[in-house]
Structures are given as C-alpha cells and as structure tokens.
Structure 1
C-alpha cells in the first residue's frame, strides 16, 4: 500500500506550497477553487490562498455541497 506523504491539518486541508491564481504568487494555504474541463487534453484547476478566498468570497471546491 502506498504511504501518504502530504501533511494535513485537523480540518483535512493539505499543507505545503501551492500557487494562488488570484494574487499570482506562492502560498501555503492554496486550495482548489475551480476545475476547468477541456474537450481534449488534460483539464486544469484554479487555486486560491486563504486571504484571496476571504477577500473575494471564494469557496473551496471540496467545501461545496
């Protein structure tokens, strides 16, 4: 069985560095906000850090009903 290597907070949020597409910089709190699907080829995801999510009223993809 593969061993999990990512660290997670008690709320299940992954920790580590990511890219915030809203302020265009690195972040330790980046979470997936939107999935962009394409007809052919791989899709993409847009991530936002905690301050950008709060300022812009963004909801993490995993927190949506």
Structure 2
C-alpha cells in the first residue's frame, strides 16, 4: 500500500487524523493534512483506507501494491 495526499485539495476537516492518527496529522496553522507514513504497516492499513474514503475533499489517494 502507498498513500499520497493532495494538500491543495485538503479542506482541513480532520477526518483522516481522527480515523488514522498513526498515518496522518494536520498543520497547526491551517489544518492541512500531513502524511506521517506513506507506506503504513499492515496493522495501520485498514484505518488508512477508511480515512481516504471518509475524506470529504478526496485529498487522500491509496494505491495498492
């Protein structure tokens, strides 16, 4: 699994951080997503997939190997 984020699309809703805090964070100044782990370990992958689905701006892309 490989994760990428589009900071330009991010609206700072924070659903990614709430769903997968081990993979995502937010910038303090504007709430834009920060990708902490672009290739999360297997235990974190379901939450990362859920975060991509829940993102209201579709700013998270998950690519399967």
Indicate the structure with greater strand content.
1
Indicate the structure with greater helix content.
2
TM-score (ref. length: structure 1)? 0.27
TM-score (ref. length: structure 2)? 0.27
